[in-house]
Structure 1
């Protein structure tokens, strides 16, 4: 290890210890929240103004790039308050570049790495070691995560699933969920354009062997049913999928 690499690693460690914080659950309390995923079901809806009207808008991974390029604001809106990111920056399977200047321009208040294990802290450390910036990164509580991942076996929950679970179990006033179909449809325009069909999306999942959409969807429906007493609004595509699953 060269001296510069060693120094950057030490700086990265101190930045990690100083800047990684627990996401403040109180931010969500009694708020109207919209979470918008990357599925094609979010498009052609005309819900942009509706989404921007929520107190908080939550997005996933490469969504900030869509906001930067002003992709379909009439459908997915323009506002982002909270960004959940995998902290893997590759375009194909990760969350895209961690562009802090862009996040500041977009008014993103909370950057969340939702994996609270050693694995998650390691990728946060890699972020600080690379960028050497004092920038807050938020994580989620460990015990609920550990209880949940027992259902996943060798697979890892997606960033989107972690966000959905955390939001559904929070004390919100209203929660709108759009643009999530658990890989049963294609991605929306501009997100992963190499996967513009359901078949291409399934091939990607089979190739990566990291996530299991069937487990995720089963767990999502379970958590959704457990929280049905809350004011949760699903978009049309997800509402239909959930209804079919419950009817099985």
Structure 2
């Protein structure tokens, strides 16, 4: 079992010194009883701070509706980041949260957030074959022949030596389509359309694996249940 100060610090509640101050102030309880020592061995499920249970003590998984203009990076200088939309405490977790896959600055939609490395690998490994659905708007009228082209498994992207896996394209209007992919190459959707002579004007990810945005507004997030096997 972890020590109380180690647990709260790893979950982003404060440094060990700050946790010690919480204990002295009587703010931390274990099974309903006020904790006297910060180095007490504890089970996370039994701990409360200010009468609130620990948040996601065994790992965090959330769904974020990424708005346009935000970047999926921890670095400064590239514009507002998706992490500015999340609770500051999440960035203080050890390890801090990161995105599962990325969406570029000019793409909106569903992105997953977690602090569990194995979960990132599970969803982003080339062998994962996670279904992703994108809503696409292009610059000129779509050719129905693109449906067969994208399904052929023969689309080559510039600078790569292996063709894209077969992808399902549904043309929803003269300038819009829905594309379903089972892989996640760098800027893949934009590059696939560019390889056939179309420029993507708008791009939105509406589905990632079993997850959809539902009525979640841009910039908002919600917690998800952790998969049974991580």
TM-score bracket for this pair, using the shorter chain length:
under 0.3
As a proportion of its length, which structure holds more strand?
A: 2
Larger Rg: 2
With normalisation by structure 1, the TM-score equals 0.21
Work out which structure has the larger RCO, using CA pairs closer than 8 Å and 6 or more positions apart in sequence.
1
Which has the larger helix fraction?
1
TM-score, with normalisation over the residues of structure 2? Answer: 0.22
